[in-house]
Amino acid sequence: MKRDSRLSGVLHVLLHMAQQPGPFTSETLAKAMDTNPVVIRRIMAGLRELGYVRSEKGHGGGWRLACDLSKVTLRDVYAALGSPSLLAMGNRTESPGCLVEQAVNAALDQAFHDAEALLLSRLGEVTLAMLGEDLRKRLGSRKIHDISAHRA
Amino acid sequence: MKRDSRLSGVLHVLLHMAQQPGPFTSETLAKAMDTNPVVIRRIMAGLRELGYVRSEKGHGGGWRLACDLSKVTLRDVYAALGSPSLLAMGNRTESPGCLVEQAVNAALDQAFHDAEALLLSRLGEVTLAMLGEDLRKRLGSRKIHDISAHRA
DNA sequence: CATCATGTAACATACAAAGTTACATGAAAC
DNA sequence: GTTTCATGTAACTTTGTATGTTACATGATG
């Protein structure tokens, strides 16, 4: 797999859930995302632990939102995934004895750190509610999107 | 392999080369980097094509710097590697039909793009000569580092 | 108790970087 | 000219991680 798409995926799920009351089974969500129910449960596990969503077993069970969408940022969601590494590049050796490599690492670390900080900052500026608002604009006059129609 | 370390690696090689006249065989460089000669040739190929280094076969052959170190930035070196992706994360689907996913992508793309731009900008601010200068400071009063002593 | 849905372990697949082997090409030394 | 050295490159192996899949235990509902 080329790149980590868990953040993209879990946001997709959350935004879908925000459009309808729920609950949603992992299977329903998986169909909408064209993936496997276990994958859904996996990426949702961290959000459940942080209380952003709740899950229930048995008949009528499934996933429900359990947070104020205007208080949860994309950065929070990212953190709920376990804060996977943001950059595809890194240093060859983290604590090299070679002074040459230390000089290289210092220069790269600075650039890497700045980029990571900016990305986290940007993610922290966007709430799930804002995403929902943007979606509403995109939907325009259309009827609220039904997740069950997603399969088309 | 966890993360792409080619940029880190090739910079390490270039900085080593800047400390001594050369030429350097792939094998010598590989030993200094604790890796394989073919890996060296691979990461150096792009730099050769752009004229940053030259290579010669046969006796007395090997790699030599062929550029003004004060004119080549880390961003140039990155480009010579083929501009591999900088971010470890990406969108699930690049051109989704689903409006929900479009909204998610739009938000993430913005953040991703900003972070990539900043990283490239930072890399563009640092020249190989500046790296060499930093290294000189780290070396302090010490004798110029001999690459053959690297194996220690 | 049968059914539904999550929770999770275990295994399979896909992909890219890094490491390795093998050999062709060309240059210098003898 | 032949040997030796060094690059150039293809092909294959190894490794790490995300993703996909199967199987089954757990618990809730009807």
Q: What is the pLDDT of residues A50-94, one digit of tens each?
A: 999 999 999 999 999 999 999 999 999 999 999 999 999 999 998
CB distance A15–B98 less than 8 Å? no
Question: What is the separation, in whole angstroms, between the first and last Cα of chain A?
Answer: 25
Q: Which chain A residues are closer than 8 Å to B108 by Cβ?
A: 7-8, 11, 74
pLDDT band at B3 (very low <50, low <70, confident <90, very high): confident
Residue A84: which of B88, B108, B139 has the nearest Cβ?
A: B88
In terms of pLDDT, which residue wins out, B29 or B150?
B29
What confidence tier does A147 reach under pLDDT thresholds 50, 70, 90?
low
Distance CA(A65)–CA(A29), nearest Å, equals 13
Strand partners, A24: A63
Domain B6-86+127-151 falls in which CATH fold?
Arc Repressor Mutant, subunit A (1.10.10)
pLDDT surpasses 80 at A115 = yes
CATH level 3 topology of A6-151:
Arc Repressor Mutant, subunit A (1.10.10)
The structural domains of chain B, with segments of one domain joined by +, span 6-86+127-151
pLDDT band at B58 (very low <50, low <70, confident <90, very high): very high
pLDDT score of B138 more than 50: yes
- When CB atoms are compared, the residue of A99, A104, A111 closest to B139 is A99
pLDDT surpasses 90 at B139: no
- Closest residue to C26 by CA to C1' distance? B57
> Who contacts B42 (Cβ-Cβ below 8 Å, separation ≥6)?
none
B151 to chain A: nearest residue by CA? A98
Half-sphere exposure of A4 (CA within 13 A, CB side): 19
Q: How confident is the model at residue A139 (pLDDT cuts 50, 70, 90)?
A: confident
First to last CA, chain B: 25
Pairing assessment for the beta strands A62-65 and A53-56 based on DSSP bridges? antiparallel
In the predicted structure, residue A1 carries a pLDDT above the cut 80: no
